[in-house]
C-alpha cells in the first residue's frame, strides 16, 4: 500500500563536502527481528519495492541502504542506532504537518518554491524535491 505520509528514501552521512557511499559494503546486516522496532521502522521507512511480507522477512531495501550509507557512520552509530536516528528525524520533521501548517495540502497544485520555502522554514535546509 502507498504510505499516507511522506517517508524517507535514506539517511546519508557526508563529510561536509561530499555524500559518503559504500564505506564498508561487506559489513554484515542483521535482520531486524519482529517486534515494536521493526513495526515502527516499517511505518516510517517502508520498503516499497517488494511485498510487505517479503520486505519484512528479507529486508532488502533496509539492508541496501545500511550497507551503502549506514556503514559510513558506523564509528558513531551501530546499525540499530542508525535506524533509530532515521526514525527520530522522520518524527522531528513531519513534512505533511509542516506543509499543512503553511496551507499546503495534498490534492492541490503549488509552486515548487512555496513548498521548498515551507519545508526550509522548519528544517533550515533546502529540500531536494522530485515531482512525479
For all residues of the chain together, what is the average pLDDT? 91
Q: Which of 63, 69, 101, 116 is catalytic?
A: 69
Provide the grid cell at 52.
Answer: 510487505
User: Would you identify the CATH topology of the domain 1-92?
Assistant: Ribonuclease Rh; Chain A (3.90.730)
With residue 11 as reference, give the H or E element that holds it. Answer: none
CA angle 88, 75, 65 (to 5 degrees): 55
Other C-beta atoms lying within 10 Å of the C-beta of residue 37: 14
Confirm whether 69 is a catalytic residue: yes
- Residues 31-82 pLDDT 10s: 999 999 999 999 999 999 999 999 999 999 999 999 999 999 999 999 999 9
Confirm whether 101 is a catalytic residue: no
Position 16 scores a pLDDT of: 81
* The pLDDT of residue 130 is above 80: no
| Percent of the chain clearing pLDDT 70 (strictly above) | 98
CA angle 32, 38, 41 (to 5 degrees): 115
Rounded to two decimals, the pTM is 0.85
**How is the chain split into domains, by residue range?**
1-92, 93-131
| Percent of the chain clearing pLDDT 90 (strictly above) | 74
Confirm whether 49 is a catalytic residue: no
Which residues make Cβ contacts (< 8 Å) with residue 74, sequence separation at least 6? 23, 24, 27, 82
* The pLDDT of residue 132 is above 70: no
- Of residues 87 and 1, the one with the higher pLDDT is 87
Q: Which of 36, 65, 101, 116 is catalytic?
A: 65
Amino acid at each position: 500500500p502507498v504510505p499516507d505520509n511522506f517517508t524517507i528514501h535514506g539517511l546519508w552521512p557526508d563529510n561536509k563536502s561530499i555524500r559518503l557511499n559504500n564505506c564498508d559494503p561487506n559489513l554484515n546486516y542483521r535482520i531486524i527481528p519482529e517486534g515494536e522496532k521493526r513495526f515502527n521502522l516499517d511505518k516510517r521507512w517502508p520498503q516499497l519495492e517488494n511485498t510487505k511480507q517479503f520486505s519484512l522477512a528479507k529486508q532488502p531495501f533496509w539492508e541496501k541502504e545500511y550497507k551503502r550509507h549506514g556503514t559510513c557512520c558506523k564509528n558513531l552509530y551501530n546499525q540499530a542506532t542508525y535506524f533509530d536516528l532515521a526514525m527520530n528525524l522522520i518524527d522531528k520533521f513531519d513534512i505533511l504537518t509542516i506543509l499543512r501548517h503553511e496551507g499546503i495540502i495534498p490534492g492541490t497544485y503549488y509552486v515548487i518554491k512555496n513548498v521548498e520555502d515551507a519545508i526550509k522554514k522548519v528544517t533550515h535546509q533546502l529540500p531536494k524535491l522530485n515531482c512525479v
